[in-house]
């Protein structure tokens, strides 16, 4: 286990590494992605997928950048499946932004169900070999193939009959690309809670085929009947992402950088001020994430600092000072940050916003044009969203 952990942290956490990985994928594997993408060949062979999700989740590079680079090489009809996979991340963020009470209900469930027994899962003793191996892979590598995530969630919910929220929480604790929107809503989708009457059921034959017989579960090991979860309809709110505040250069401005969006360079609306505050994760997240996940986020943030800092800038880390203390110490009256989507960091920032206001400190979220455009289209299903995104792709890509 120790050896695998060391291998994980040899993974380069720089923006240049993300760009290089994307370029290599486009040149070598993108054209065959649709054909090969569903095969889970194990942690030592990921050549059939991009492995970009840990970078995209933290926006080391953005969805917009990835799509532009791909479409500069191939027309959209040749690589539509990969473009869809990238846009699913955008869609899930927008969907949850329009229905933040889903996230609130998920967190409340976790708060009220802290003692649920998961010993069989965490001791790898469910007697379902593939499931136990995927649990080990999740913990040791911080990653699972997307198809394996679907199988895993299906077995968790429909066979083991465990609450989906606890499975989503386990993923958030260990996945390097764990994202509040994609993770929460994907688990809900498997449970049949995103689309009424539609659950995802793992089958032995599907697992055997797409793992190329690495795993061959007996058909009777997996439930063929969906576990009944109460469906709750969450209506989209009417929020429109059109806000943007200009910040006068005469103000004493501080920049807050969070691990929700680390591609500061690509946002022309942000000019680097003298004072920067870096928050890889909130205090609540520190108690949730595994050491591997926290180290990964810290390392990504270190790269941002190397790229942005100069002799004219000062850096304060969240581990050494609160945002309010930092602002008061440096007489900052305007804090700007790239908008944080619904999730743990956004919860933390909304909690301290009143405190900042009480100290005459203005807190300004800057929304990317990409997000303001596409999140508004997430009020319905994904394919309605994708159709609208495709119509706009020439404008943005």
SS (H, E, C) 250-293: CCCEEEEEECCCCCHHHCCCCCCCCEEEEECCCHHHHHHCCHHH
Dump pLDDT digits (tens) for 292-350: 999 999 999 999 999 998 888 999 999 999 999 999 999 999 999 999 999 999 999 99
pLDDT above 90 (res 246): no
8 A C-beta contact, residue 138 and residue 105: no
Q: Measured between alpha carbons, how far is 159 from 176 in angstroms, rounded to an integer?
A: 26
Six-digit token pair at 53?
A: 């999700």
Dump pLDDT digits (tens) for 192-210: 999 988 999 999 999 999 9
8 A C-beta contact, residue 342 and residue 302: no
> Same topology for domains 2-97+375-396 and 253-366, yes or no?
no
Dump pLDDT digits (tens) for 134-172: 999 999 999 999 999 999 999 999 999 999 999 999 999
> Residue 393 — very low, low, confident or very high, per pLDDT cuts 50/70/90?
low
pTM of the model: 0.94
- pLDDT for residue 6: 38
**With the CA atoms of 389, 393, 395 and 397 taken in that order, what torsion angle do they form, in degrees rounded to the nearest 10?**
130
Write phi, then psi, for 359 (nearest 5 degrees). -105, 20
- pLDDT for residue 28: 95
8 A C-beta contact, residue 212 and residue 91: no
8 A C-beta contact, residue 229 and residue 191: yes
What average pLDDT score do residues 381-396 get? 82
DSSP state string for 310-373: -TT-EEEETTT--HHHHHHHTT--EEEEEPPPSSHHHHHHHHHHHHHHHTT-EEEEE--HHHHH
- pLDDT for residue 64: 95
Write phi, then psi, for 337 (nearest 5 degrees). -155, 150
pLDDT above 50 (res 3): no
The domain 116-221 is placed in CATH, from the list 2.60.120.10, 3.40.50.410, 1.10.579.10, 3.20.20.70, at 1.10.579.10
Contacts of range 123-129, beta carbons closer than 8 Å, 24 or more positions apart:
126/160, 127/221, 128/155, 128/159, 128/217, 128/221, 128/222, 129/215, 129/217
Reference 381, options 189, 147, 228, 237; nearest CA is 189
pLDDT above 90 (res 96): yes
User: At the topology level of CATH, where does 2-97+375-396 sit?
Assistant: 1.25.40
In angstroms, how far is the first alpha carbon of the chain from the final one?
42
Q: In what order do the strands lie in the sheet containing 314-317?
A: 314-317, 275-279, 253-258, 334-338, 362-366
- Pairing mode, strands 362-366 and 275-279: unpaired
Dump pLDDT digits (tens) for 52-85: 999 999 999 999 999 999 999 999 999 999 999 9
Chain centroid to CA 311: 33
What average pLDDT score do residues 246-273 get? 87
Percentage of residues in the chain with pLDDT exceeding 70? Answer: 93
> Residue 7 — very low, low, confident or very high, per pLDDT cuts 50/70/90?
very low
- pLDDT for residue 1: 35
- pLDDT for residue 8: 46
pLDDT above 80 (res 275): yes
8 A C-beta contact, residue 164 and residue 196: no
Taking the domain 253-366, which CATH number applies? 3.40.50.620
Reference 296, options 280, 279, 282; nearest CA is 280
pLDDT above 90 (res 392): no
8 A C-beta contact, residue 155 and residue 199: no
Sketch the domain layout of the chain as residue ranges: 2-97+375-396, 116-221, 253-366
pLDDT above 60 (res 26): yes
Q: Measured between alpha carbons, how far is 225 from 56 in angstroms, rounded to an integer?
A: 35
> Residue 2 — very low, low, confident or very high, per pLDDT cuts 50/70/90?
very low
Reference 167, options 228, 122, 197; nearest CA is 122
What average pLDDT score do residues 258-274 get? 93
Q: Is 197 left (phi over 0), alpha (psi -120 to 50) or beta?
A: left
């Amino acid at each position: 286990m120790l050896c695998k952990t060391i291998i994980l942290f040899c993974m380069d956490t720089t923006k240049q590494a993300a760009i290089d990985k994307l370029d290599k994928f486009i040149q070598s594997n993108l054209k065959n992605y649709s054909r090969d993408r569903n095969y889970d060949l194990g942690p030592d062979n990921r050549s059939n997928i991009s492995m970009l999700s840990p970078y995209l989740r933290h926006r080391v590079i953005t969805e917009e950048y990835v799509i532009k680079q791909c479409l500069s090489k191939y027309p959209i009809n040749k690589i539509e499946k990969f473009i869809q996979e990238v846009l699913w991340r955008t869609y899930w963020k927008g969907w949850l932004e329009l229905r933040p009470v889903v996230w609130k209900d998920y967190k409340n469930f976790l708060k009220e169900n802290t003692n649920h027994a998961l010993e069989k899962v965490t001791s790898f003793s469910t007697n379902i070999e593939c499931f136990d191996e995927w649990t080990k892979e999740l913990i040791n590598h911080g990653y699972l193939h997307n198809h394996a995530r679907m199988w895993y969630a299906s077995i968790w919910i429909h066979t083991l009959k465990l609450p989906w929220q606890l499975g989503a929480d386990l993923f958030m604790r260990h996945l390097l690309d764990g994202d509040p929107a994609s993770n929460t809503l994907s688990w809900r989708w498997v449970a049949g809670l995103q689309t009424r009457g539609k659950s995802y059921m793992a089958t032995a034959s599907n697992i055997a085929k797409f793992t190329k017989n690495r795993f061959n579960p007996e058909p009777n090991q997996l439930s063929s009947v969906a576990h009944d979860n109460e469906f709750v309809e969450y209506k989209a709110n009417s929020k429109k992402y059109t806000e943007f505040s200009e910040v006068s250069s005469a103000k004493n401005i501080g920049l807050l950088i969070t691990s929700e969006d680390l591609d500061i360079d690509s946002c022309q609306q942000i000019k680097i001020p003298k004072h920067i505050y870096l928050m890889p994760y909130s205090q609540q997240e520190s108690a949730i994430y595994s050491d591997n996940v926290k180290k990964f986020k810290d390392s990504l943030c270190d790269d941002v600092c190397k790229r942005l800092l100069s002799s004219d800038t000062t850096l304060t880390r969240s581990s050494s000072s609160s945002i309010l203390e930092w602002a008061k110490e440096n007489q900052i009256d305007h804090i700007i940050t790239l908008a944080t989507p619904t999730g743990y960091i956004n919860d933390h920032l909304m909690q301290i916003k009143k405190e900042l206001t009480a100290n005459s400190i203005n807190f300004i979220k800057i929304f990317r044009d990409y997000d303001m455009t596409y999140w508004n289209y997430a009020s319905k299903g994904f394919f309605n969203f994708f159709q609208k995104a495709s119509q706009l792709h020439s404008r943005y890509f």
